[in-house]
Amino acid sequence: MGILTSIAETAPSLFGTVPNAFCVMAVLVLTVAYILRGRPAPVPEGAATSEKPDQPNQPNQPMVDDADPPVSVNYFPSRECNYACGFCFHTNTSGYILPLDDAKRGMRLLKEAGMRKLNIAGGEPFLHPKFLGELLRYCKQDLGLESISIVSNGSKIQQKFLREHARYLDILAISCDSFVRDTNRAIGRGENGQADKDHVAQVFRIAAWCREYGIMFKLNTVVNIHNWDEDMAAQIAELAPFRWKVFQCLLVEGENEDETRVRDARKFLISEEQWQTFCGRHKHLPCYVPEDNETMAGSYLLLDERLRFLDKGDGPMKKSDSLLDVGVKKAMQQVRWDKGAFDRRGGVYEWQSPQTLGGDEACGGGGGIDTKELQW
């Protein structure tokens, strides 16, 4: 208050002239501002303030138990397969298949945890058609999953099965690495590793059946040392899949990385230049979706025949406890799933089967394959 007293005592003489009066006013304004500086603005009684007490810096990391929901799960009910593809990274080390009731219980737990899409692969799923058919019905009809898909080599698929189960199946993906018989033989894509002369014709038949029954038809291709220089564009356009996934041949430690495993994929690997050559040749196709090794690693949520999550990313493959024993959340915490990589590769897409047949998204604009006209 000393400053204000001093100003008050000198005010009479200062007001003797107009200029001095202005000086006094300026001093008064500056003095009041000085006193009020730093004083908090008045807050109405009972009003909340936005200020928070100082807190130590907290790392911006989720708690361990805040696992992302298993939006899309890839389930391998059996490792058994009738083909012998040399680069396979989920080989037949066990003929085990879970009892159907246990598989259903696992699917229910996954649905409750947030699963929206189920992809059934293998092994070859169609080696167990009764198990497969009932699992499809249960997951679509009882659990109400948005999307159910199957990945198959196509050899055991029958038209009758698709006709009877089409209402439960959104997507059918067929593995097709080449349209050349000698190339398929070199890869091992065929019964007992021998290329089936009817394999390519079967792929075209399945595409036609899918179109007939309203199932979304998809193709999967693994680019390897035997097919990287093949031009598949014309046949892909004719088959008209809504989606063509093109994978770079991948090594998975613990599955196919050397001669001690059921498959040794080292001799099937390609260079980055070969990969880019194949991609450049086919990138004009609207259904083309490439995935290199970096994109694949850790971006898929994999579930084995005992309902254990698999981590096939960097380093040795790891397995969780069975979700039947510890629950979905705890099992997911035991492996690494890169949700960011899943999102970046377009893990969620239009995956529900349309109500009408065909569609503009197909590579060939709807196809129109007539199985009666196929001559192979």
Task: Given the residues 85, 139, 287, 363, select the one marked as catalytic.
Answer: 85
Whether 279 is a known active-site residue: answer: no
| Residue 348, CA distances (Å) to 14, 102, 236, 345 in order | 79, 27, 23, 9
Whether 139 is a known active-site residue: answer: no
Contact 248, 201 (CB under 8 A): no
Task: Given the residues 23, 88, 287, 363, select the one marked as catalytic.
Answer: 88
Distance CA 294, CA 298 (A): 9
Whether 85 is a known active-site residue: answer: yes
**Residues noted as catalytic:** 81, 85, 88
